[in-house]
Structure 1
Amino acid sequence: MGTRRRLLGGAAAIGAALPLRALAAYPDRPLRVIVPFTPGGNTDILGRIAGEVMAPRLGQPMVIENRAGAGGSIGADLVAKAPPDGYTLLFGAGGPLVANPVLQARIPYDVARDFRPIGLVGIMPMVCILGPRLPVRSMTEFLALLRARPGQVTVATPGTGSAAHLTLELLGAQASVRMTHVPYRGGSALVPDLIAGTVDAALVELPNVLPLHRDGQARIIGIAALERSAVLPEVETFVEAGLPGFTAGSFGGLLAPAGTPDATIATLHRALAESMAVPAVAARVAQVGAVPATPEQATPAGFARFLAAELAAARRAVELAGLKPE
């Protein structure tokens, strides 16, 4: 009896010395998911889909919190400096995780050092969309036109240093074509000029211009993905147009602060992977114009490899464009 009392007393002492949360199963309270952009954008929509479908599997709400600013760096930095307990996560995108590290001279975080990837959710592929002036009907014909008229075709993007601008530089290099870049301040800003024919074409994320294509106001002729989109089966890929392996786009995926325990990362990844495996969830992601992540990309290691490849491509594009970190 004395031995039993001593054992129970020792266990009680250990329990008293541990924080209550250490004794509880993770998660035992709501999770914050920081989206580093304003509500309603592509990243925000994907983040809300992920949070909604993961919450039942985790048994806790995933509360989306929009923290915009500095191209996504403000929200990313908030998560980088958050306690690594799994209760503050980043729904990251190409801006804060790829473009900003190569374009911002004083970025306050290091992607490889300060974050642990959980899994990619989806990719918003870049598309080439034409206004009314050009008489071409496919990406193959568009590339032939660019070669016939070097530097004469104007191509709009949402801005200098944007993911679309970097894609434009890579496209020019791989296809050996020259275009005149016309940067705007955001994807929506270029739409009126595209429809009016003030600019010949645009490179932009699919979700931003899918309604224009469906309404017949402009024509999507190429998509920078390995396979044709389920929502645009008639549109050829850049690969089919003669550019092997050419993919580009922005993306959305979950990350945690560095130092988050392996068990916590595993719990979050399991909830994400199980959610994305549901056909109805993948269909929701595809319906907004995104390409659902592959099972490999949705793993922590696969997402890490994806980020490394995206960063390498961004560095090459920045060199081609002659851009300098500011």
Structure 2
Amino acid sequence: MRTTRRTLLLGALPALSLPALALAQPGWRPDRPVRLVVAFAPGGNVDFTARLLAPIMAERLGQPVVIENRGGAGGVIGLDLVAKARPDGLTFGIGSSGTLTISPLTTARMPWDTWTDFTFIALAYRVPIVLANSATLPARTLQEFLAYAKANQGKVSAGSSGIGTGAHLGIELFNHGSGAGLTHVPYRSSGAAYPDLVAGHLHCMFDQLSAALPLHRDGKSRILATGSAVRSPQVPEAPTLREAGIIDAELSTSIGLLGPARLPPEILEALRSAMAAAVGDATVQARLLDLGAEVATPAQMNGRHYLAVTQEELALSRQAVEIAGLKPE
């Protein structure tokens, strides 16, 4: 039986308080519960990730991991708590691409700096952004969709979760690389757009693979291409945008662990090791893979790689923001 997103979320909600000495590892250990900041409201991918990882991290650290949801301003408010926390290992957070690489380009007054106010602890996984079209369209492949869009320049609508989001920037990069001429239609969230996609009022969507998979599996929409480096095992029939010669860089969102700047090496390593243990858990990996996540390898699960991925994403975001003509507000 296929695991649904609701089942995954419910399965990730057991109490996070664990015996203080359970499976604690040598090295630094906190002497009280630690705070894991989620810069978004409960229920989304970032919150799901935190609730999935926290129990195992708590076992490794020997203290409860308490999740604190602080949504607002596209994640900027929540990460401000992390940036301004003491570097004592008692406060860390989940970092996401849009907040770290898009918000600094579209927000006039940022309370923190991505490169100087955080310690990059480790990359957990990446989720490709995909192009999914309505099943009501005649196009069943990327090539057919491109032909349809070019024959109907400016009349093919492309939904996103809002102006300045990763999905919106994906649309801009797609138009730039393909000449498809899609018309961007921003919604308040991707969930609000999917009913229109299913009904055929919206021709296509750019969204994370994890969100697009359920409708693809149910035959209500078709994933035509992915922004991943290689084809996704979840939709092996869909070519990558790089393979199609449309977007050369990897188009995805990344999720990782962040701490405040100047985090001591022994604390950084303890938090990295705890996260690596959680991501490496077989049950956790199965849930992430079912959502289309590309889980970081052990060699990639460190701060250097996470920083490098974020720098690459910033360069791509800057290109897309320039194409879209977005200005900081």
**Structure 2: how far apart are the matches of 1:310 and 1:300?**
15
SS in 2 for 1:111: coil
**CA 1:120–1:202: 2 relative to 1, 3 Å:** same
Q: Percent identity?
A: 44
Alignment check: 8 A CA contact 1:223 1:236 kept? yes
Aligned residue for 1:313?
316
Q: Does 1:282 find its partner at 2:269?
A: no
Letter in 2 for 1:290: A
Q: 1:116 aligns with which of 116, 119, 144?
A: 119
Q: 2:161 aligns with which of 151, 158, 166?
A: 158
Aligned residue for 1:175?
178
**Structure 1: how far apart are the matches of 2:247 and 2:326?**
26
Alignment of 1:1-326 (within 5 A): 25-243=28-246, 245-326=248-329
**Structure 1: how far apart are the matches of 2:79 and 2:31?**
24
Instruction: Provide, for residues 120-166 of structure 1, a one-character-per-residue CA deviation record: whole Å limited to 9, x for no partner.
Output: 11122111111133211222332333334332311111111111001
TM-score, normalised via structure 1 length: 0.87
Letter in 2 for 1:40: G
Aligned residue for 1:8?
none
Letter in 1 for 2:116: R
Flag structure 2 segments of 5+ consecutive residues without an equivalent.
1-26
**Structure 1: how far apart are the matches of 2:83 and 2:308?**
19
SS in 1 for 2:59: helix
Letter in 2 for 1:272: M
Higher mean C-alpha displacement, 65-74 vs 270-279:
270-279
Alignment check: 8 A CA contact 2:174 2:247 kept? no
TM-score, normalised via structure 2 length: 0.86
Higher mean C-alpha displacement, 217-226 vs 272-281:
272-281
Letter in 2 for 1:298: M
Alignment check: 8 A CA contact 2:160 2:193 kept? yes
Higher mean C-alpha displacement, 161-170 vs 133-142:
133-142
Deviation of 1:47 (Å): 1.9
**Structure 2: how far apart are the matches of 1:292 and 1:141?**
31
Higher mean C-alpha displacement, 255-264 vs 214-223:
214-223
Higher mean C-alpha displacement, 264-273 vs 169-178:
169-178
Alignment check: 8 A CA contact 2:28 2:266 kept? no
Deviation of 1:263 (Å): 1.1
Alignment check: 8 A CA contact 1:104 1:325 kept? yes
**Structure 2: how far apart are the matches of 1:216 and 1:196?**
13
Letter in 1 for 2:291: V
Deviation of 1:296 (Å): 4.1
**Structure 2: how far apart are the matches of 1:94 and 1:243?**
21
